[in-house]
Structure 1
Amino acid sequence: MTAHAARAEPLPQRTYATDEDLLARVLAPYKAHCKYVRTAAVTSRSGTASAQCEFAIPESCYIDDTGHLNSVEVNICYNQMMYYLAAKSVKEGLLTGFETWTLEDFWKRQLPDILIARFSSNFRRPVNPRSFSGEMEFLSVSRHTADGSSPFLFAETSFRYRDAGGGRCDGRATLAFVNIP
């Protein structure tokens, strides 16, 4: 870089506290005993976004108590965190790839048109499902068209969970947003 070259200043980071009304709407499709997200703060910077959430799973919705967070619950928590992060990003205009979306576009597509193409999780230490935190980040979002089909958004994400006792789980997920507006 020469002395005359301009340096691009990073966009300021913004953080949004839990939007209770938005969270309730995001969780509306879930059965009452399967609404695990308690709080969800969103942070944005330079066209990317992340969510920091608090979770509580009083009891498993499908199996006797295992005493630890299991892979099904990891996936359900991921979905809830991702739906909230996507909805908040649409509402606030935070995430590259969703600039033209409205919240009505999101609600119409939340269940049928947001697909998990790939999902992997790594359990480092057992996580207490009664009280734990999690975060996820959209690493990239890009628009694609495959073999003359309708365009879709392809998103790479990462996530992690932890509890007060040192429990840890992390992973990655690839998403496809189809039938985009």
Structure 2
Amino acid sequence: MTTLVATGHPTDEHLLARVLTPYKDHCRYLRSAVVVSEGDGQASARCEFAIPESCYIDDTGHLNSVEVNICYNQMMYYLVAKSVKEGLLAGFESWTLDDFWKHQLPDILIARFAANFRRPVDPRSFSGEMEFRSVTRRTQADGSPFLHAETGYRYWDAAAGRCDGTAVLAFVNVPRPGTGAS
């Protein structure tokens, strides 16, 4: 019987800054992210967030669905980038960081997103985590490959606030195995 040992990768400040580059300064909510790999092609991230002021609405006093989605995107982008850099996540073996930067905005699609708000979460300081539950290579009708990923996430704060959910991702125009290029 093989025992898997989890390996933690602390926040890579340079990588985090690069991942957040597409966001407006006041919309960079992800502060830190520790990526954990079990060594079996699965990876997860445990993150810290702060939203000093909503980017689009007066203060609601709680994390809302738009912010949940923005935070999810930032957490997911970092987890994928770190996984590509460290060779952690199954399905991304043929990716390079240059591939990730090329595909980050145009080719990573949220096919389905669900959120369950259990108790209000303080947006000023909260934690979150996400995991890739599965990544499978599939083929579109035109024969081009894509990655189908099922993920889960949750957020919490110091006052027992809680939100969780799932998201299904489609990574299109992906690099073909063995080529390192799209």
TM over 0.5: yes
Runs of at least 4 residues off by over 3 Å: none
Matched, 1:16 2:32: no
The match for 1:38 is 31
For structure 2, which runs of at least 5 residues remain unmatched after alignment? 176-182
Matched, 1:150 2:144: yes
Q: What do the CA deviations read for 1:27-71 (whole angstroms, capped 9, x no partner)?
A: 000000000011100001111000000000000000000000000
Q: What do the CA deviations read for 1:69-102 (whole angstroms, capped 9, x no partner)?
A: 0000000000000000000000000000000100
- Quote the sequence identity (%): 74
Distance 1:148 1:114 in 2: 18
Distance 1:121 1:131 in 2: 19
Distance 1:146 1:97 in 2: 16
For structure 1, which runs of at least 5 residues remain unmatched after alignment? 1-6
Distance 2:3 2:147 in 1: 25
Distance 1:38 1:136 in 2: 15
* Other structure's SS at 2:151 match: strand
* Other structure's SS at 2:122 match: coil
Task: Provide the TM-score with structure 2 as the length reference.
Answer: 0.94
- Which structure is larger by alpha-carbon Rg, 1 or 2? 1
Question: What are the equivalent positions in structure 2 for 1:120-131 lying under 5 Å apart?
Answer: 120-131=114-125
Matched, 1:25 2:18: yes
Distance 2:13 2:70 in 1: 19
The match for 1:168 is 162
Q: Look up the equivalent residue of 1:78 and give its one-letter code.
A: Y
Question: What are the equivalent positions in structure 2 for 1:91-110 lying under 5 Å apart?
Answer: 91-110=85-104
Task: Provide the TM-score with structure 1 as the length reference.
Answer: 0.95
Give the alignment's Cα RMSD to 1 decimal.
0.7
* Other structure's SS at 2:91 match: coil
Out of 29, 33, 57, the residue aligned to residue 63 of structure 1 is 57
Distance 1:159 1:165 in 2: 19
147-156 vs 158-167, greater mean Cα deviation: 147-156
The match for 1:4 is none
